[in-house]
Structure 1
Amino acid sequence: MGFESTLYLNMYSILILGIVLFNLYKKYGINNKVTKLFVTMIFVTIIMLFFDSLGRFDGMEKPYYIYLNKIGNTVSFMLNPVLVCFWMMFVLEIVSISKAKQNIIKYI
């Protein structure tokens, strides 16, 4: 996939996430832990999409594109485990899991 098509796809994804976030604020507000975790996951995903767009500057001719590519790829790889941790916390809040299993999950 080319740079422009990836950029358009990421902008479209950010737009959809923004609409979901707007409807969430409008309908429910942020008043419990599950909603806060969900909003945090949306923001982390938006940030990851932005840096994914920066990471697509490989093979371009400008000299500063190399640095944008490295920054984008580094931040994307650093945020991937963060998003997984937020998903695990989100699932733990929604599904009731016994204390023994929660202690095992903490080590992961």
Structure 2
Amino acid sequence: MKRKVWRWVRIGYGILFILAVVTVISALAIIMTAILADKAALVNTALMNSVALIMALISLPGILVQLISLMFTGEKKYIITTKCPNCKHLVDFRMKEE
């Protein structure tokens, strides 16, 4: 019973997150379309700067993930377990990617 509740909570939060992302992207698309359609708003630099700053803030998590993945591109370790063809015991093969 407890697993079912946590599963549904996780699914609910996932759907809520997806809807929040779609809402933010849709709102930005509507704002940008309204700015491009109105010539007076297009000249207003404060409005254009605020839209650019909002888009930069939205893209910050992706930039941070890319920078962190570049920092930790060290070696990867793999362990493969298989049976020895001669004696049928389990053997671990260890591989490193540098």
Please, what TM-score do these two structures have when normalized by structure 1? 0.35
Structure showing greater relative contact order (alpha-carbon pairs closer than 8 Å, 6 or more residues apart): 1
The structure in which a higher percent of residues are helix is 1
| Greater radius of gyration (CA) | 2
Please, what TM-score do these two structures have when normalized by structure 2? 0.37
The structure in which a higher percent of residues are strand is 2
